[in-house]
Amino acid sequence: MSRRHLRLLRDCLLALGVGFLIVQGGGKLLPETTPFPLWLGAQALLFCLAGVAVVTLMQAHLIFAPSEFPRDQPLPIPPDSQELWLEPGIHALWFPKPGASEALLYCHGNAGDLSHRIVSANTLRRELEVSVLAIDYPGFGKSRGAPTEASCYASALAGLTWLTSTQGFPLEQTLVLGKSLGGGVATEVALRHPTLKALILSRTFCSIPDMGRRLFRLRLGPLVFHRFDNQAKLPKVSVPVLLLFGSDDTLCPPVLGEALLAAANEPKRLVVLEGDQHNTPSDSRYYAAIREWLTKF
């Protein structure tokens, strides 16, 4: 059984146990003489509270969907690329571009692992003519630990430190790109490092609570631990922002791009790619939009 499955089993048992205690314990507090309408209403409330407890305890498994990759097995990367280990226990892939003066930190989405991003990272290197560092969050691929909002931020910041300290790229010549959930990670990196060259957000969301309201009609508010609140952070980000969305994306539709554009500071731009869905492979239009944006800085 994998590490992820063990964590899922543990959290399922914990969530079910808490839900059971709420229903059983709350029910025992009701006296036997409780009128039936009041008893029924109280039971409904207890079931709702139990449901909220289960969702709250299981939210990490609803947000993160990592796959694991054997740590002793090399990834099928190009011969001029490299597997790295960053602190603390973060696995990364390095795609250097000889002679490139700029580097890009690549933060992927909520599912899979780096083995599914080799083509994307290598294409970014070729199309943008930059060196690319792609990171796996804790619990993804070969990276150690468990994914949380804080641990995802820590892994990206470790990647940025490696680019600037080990490879010598100045922040002013470093880009950060985040896709989907990675947009939340990239936004936090840009918030903490206001001298980065650019922030590129690809098919991302306003926040996790907002996604919960949109997808499941759930308003959990403060019960959401992993928030990735891009919309609240962008007004504080001074880095130039490029937003890339697909016109047919039903998970992160262009209306979210418009909301993020309104929240961001200048300079900023929203590009909507006609016909693209959430997981449509990036094509020449995608890279051309990034190249055109970068020529302004």
pLDDT in tens, 146-195: 999 999 999 999 999 999 999 999 999 999 999 999 999 999 999 999 99
Of residues 57 and 149, which shows the higher confidence score? 149
Domain residue spans of the chain: 3-63, 68-294
Which of 170, 231, 220 is CA-nearest to residue 195? 170
Backbone angles phi, psi at 106, to 5 degrees: -105, 120
pLDDT in tens, 77-129: 999 999 999 987 999 999 999 999 999 999 999 999 999 999 999 999 999 99
What band does 1 get if pLDDT is binned at 50, 70 and 90? very low
pLDDT, average across residues 273-280: 96
Q: Where are the alpha helices (DSSP H) in 1-148?
A: 3-28, 36-63, 118-128
What band does 297 get if pLDDT is binned at 50, 70 and 90? confident
Whole-number pLDDT of residue 271: 98
Give, in words, the CATH class of 68-294: alpha beta
pLDDT, average across residues 229-245: 98
% residues pLDDT > 70 (the chain): 80
CA–CA distance, 112 with 115 (Å, rounded to integer): 8
Whole-number pLDDT of residue 245: 98
